[in-house]
Structure formats: structure tokens, C-alpha cells
Amino acid sequence: MPIRPITSLKLAGKRVLVRCDFNVPIHDGRIADPTRIEATLETIRYVLKEGGSAVMCSHLGRPKERTPEFSLKPVAERLSAELGIKVPLAPDCIGDVTGRMVSALKPGEALLLENLRFHAEEEANNRDFAHELARGKDVYVNDAFGAAHRAHASTAGVAQFFSERAAGFLMMREIEALSSVVNDPPRPAVAILGGAKVSDKIGVIRHLLPKLDRFLIGGAMAYTFLKARGTPVGRSRVEEDKLGLANELLEAAKKQGVDFVLPVDHVVAEALDKPETATVVSEIPAGMMGLDIGPRTADDFIARLAGAKTVVWNGPLGVFENEAFAKGTLKVGEALAGLSGVKSVIGGGDTAAAVAHQPWSRGFTHISTGGGATLEYLEGRELPGVKALDY
């Protein structure tokens, strides 16, 4: 898709509306994970260095009403510290007071608008609201990949009011990394898929099946496939209504000569909250549930990654939030990060959460900042936030 990068815009003297994804976890007024803020600093710094002024906007959470816990104030403070300039927080994202703050901006200055979702019109992609948001700004840059699957006013509707619009550095990086997986990836190409539900990943499997050579399946979704194949899964999490579909996918993989690999052993326990009962088995006993891939499966997955030129990973291979069931995800993650000559793209969301803070995570080519947006991209769907940048 022909979208323009920010570097194609003349920014000197311009007021630049930058849609950022500052939807970060905030506990008691403190930012618990600043990854998404850090990921967009390159774009903001570029705007300021080129002599533009940055008017940043973002959503935060799902506010029902305007309450302090959904204010972007902690983000404004963090941006001030990171950029080394005062980044004031406007009292709203539209309106006269905010409009005056925008008009007063000089080249090299920055302003953060208050949470877009304090207006229901944002999610409704309301045209008048989008027009208001555009007012007083000269160019539009979208760097919010994590929100690009939403057709909201700030990600979609607003773009039509700018003759100059482009993708920020983060947006460009995300699209380049993900498109290199989806469009003609260097082979052998492997997908590692895990997570809670097959139903969430059906679109990804369907879209990638003809494009990749091998699928390594872990997480709870593996049990729906195993049960469909007639393997005992005990009390593991299974989507009963997806057994037929799981069989169809297994058949399709076979027909297309794709290596579709399921776990051969498991870390099981009596229940999620009984990690003290955890043990490794090859066959899951009736009363137990599979909560992680076993060590032989991890070794098997790692062996099947050798020589890969492209690897895309979406979804943890076990209940990584609990140390007792995190080993499979971490072992495969560390091995992948250590491989050379491979483009490794880690789909955002839970997979990123599971591996991002490990010292070896720097070994991945790209860790996506998107959750839903990454999945939709891998399903081959057009993202409204990307499409809106089109000319």
C-alpha cells in the first residue's frame, strides 16, 4: 500500500498533529510500562528537529466518563522528561482553550492533548469531531500502529482534512516488519502460534497457511487441535465448537504440504491455581489440564526453527503469567532470539509481554507494539488507520 513516510513531509514551521499510541498501563498515577511511549519518541524528536511543533493525541483506556484515572497527565510528565522540554497537557483534545494553546506553539515546541476517548465521538468516527481535531494543525502524522485496526476519528476520519499526511517511524517499522512476513517471506518461513483460543487465530492460520512452510502450535489452542485429532487432553481448555474447524485446518495443512506441529509432551496440573501439582507428561491424564508445552516439545520446536529465514510468533506457549508454566515460552523465545540469519517478528500483546523484558529479547528483529492490529494485519485485513494515510 503506497503510504508516505514522515520523512517525505516538510515540517518546518508546521503544526503537526501526531496520533500516538500512549495507551499505557498506569497504576496509582505511575506508568507501569513505558514501552509504547518510548517507541514513538523518534517520530516526535524528528518533528521538533525539523522545526515543526508537535500536537500529540492519544486514547487511554476505556473511560465511561471524564475521571482523573484516565487523564494523560502522567504521559505528559514522562514526555517532558524524555524530550527535555516542557510538554504541557491541554485540558481537552478540542475546544477553544486547547485551540489557543495549539496556536501559541512555536517551532520545536510540543503539546499533548487530553484523552481522545473523553468524547464518545472519537470511537464513533464522528466527522464534525474529526474536523475539530484537525483544526489549527497543518499536517497529520499517524504513529499509532496499536490503534490502526480501529476506524476512529483520530485514526481514520481526521486524515481527510489534511492534504499532507504520513506514517511516523514506528508505524513504518511495524508495517515493514509485518508485511515482510505476510508478503513473500524469505523461506523456510515458520509461524509459532499459541495463546488461549483457536478462534482468535483462525484468520491468521488461514491467511498464512499458503505462505509459510511450518506451524508450531502451543498454548491452550493446541488442545483443541489435539482433541480434534483424537488425542486425550484431560481437562485442558478446549473450544468444543471449534473441533470441526480444527480438523479442517489440519487437513488443509496436510494437503498444502505444510508441517503442522503439535506438542508431544505437556506440563500439566490439577488446576491453574495448583502449580504445586505440576508435572511433565506425554499423555494427559483425565483429571489434569495442560498448562505449558513440555521440555521435549520445546526442544522439538527449537530444532524445527533451525535454518528458518522468517519466523513470526503470536501467542504464548503456556500460561506464562505463572512461573510454573512459563518455561516453554521462555525456552523457545530465548532459542529464537539467539538464532542468526533469521527475521524474527514477535506479534504484540501477550507474546510481547511474555518476552519483552528478558535480556535476550534484543535478539528479535522486531517486537510489535500492536495486539489486535498485529493480528488483523497477519490475517491479511486492511487496517483503517493505514488506509486513511493513502493518497
Q: Which residues are catalytic?
A: 36, 197, 349, 372
Least distance to ligand AMP, CB of residue 317, Å: 7
Least distance to ligand AMP, CB of residue 293, Å: 8
Using the Cα atoms of residue 137, residue 139, residue 143 and residue 147 in order, give the sign of their dihedral. positive
Least distance to ligand AMP, CB of residue 319, Å: 4
**Interhelix angle for 35-49 vs 73-83, to 10°?**
60
Question: Is cis: bond before 34, omega within 30 of 0?
Answer: no
Residue that the C-alpha cell 496440573 belongs to: 269
Using Cβ positions, the residue closest to ligand AMP within the complex turns out to be 195
Q: How far is CA 98 from CA 92, 137, 184, 207, 278, in A?
A: 6, 12, 46, 44, 56
**Interhelix angle for 327-338 vs 295-305, to 10°?**
20
Between 126 and 231, CB nearer to ligand AMP: 231
Cβ proximity of 93 and 117 under 8 Å: no
Between 115 and 236, CB nearer to ligand AMP: 236
Between 171 and 220, CB nearer to ligand AMP: 220
Cβ proximity of 196 and 237 under 8 Å: yes
Least distance to ligand AMP, CB of residue 362, Å: 22
Between 151 and 196, CB nearer to ligand AMP: 196
- Given the rule CB under 6 A, which residues bind ligand AMP? 194-197, 200, 219-220, 237, 290-291, 315-316, 318-319, 321, 349-350
Identify which of 50, 7, 339 has the alpha carbon closest to the alpha carbon of residue 192.
339
Least distance to ligand AMP, CB of residue 220, Å: 4
Identify which of 236, 205, 231, 203 has the alpha carbon closest to the alpha carbon of residue 219.
236
Distance CA 331, CA 377 (A): 27
Distance CA 385, CA 154 (A): 9
Between 81 and 271, CB nearer to ligand AMP: 271
For residue 379, count CB atoms less than 10 angstroms from its CB and return exposed for 0-12, middle for 13-18, buried for 19 or more. Answer: middle
DSSP type of residue 292: E
State the virtual CA torsion across 61, 131, 150, 27 in degrees, nearest 10.
-10
Between 185 and 316, CB nearer to ligand AMP: 316
Least distance to ligand AMP, CB of residue 287, Å: 15
Give bridge partners of residue 281 from the DSSP assignment. 266
Between 49 and 229, CB nearer to ligand AMP: 229
- Containing 175, the helix (H) or strand (E) segment is helix 169-182
Least distance to ligand AMP, CB of residue 150, Å: 18
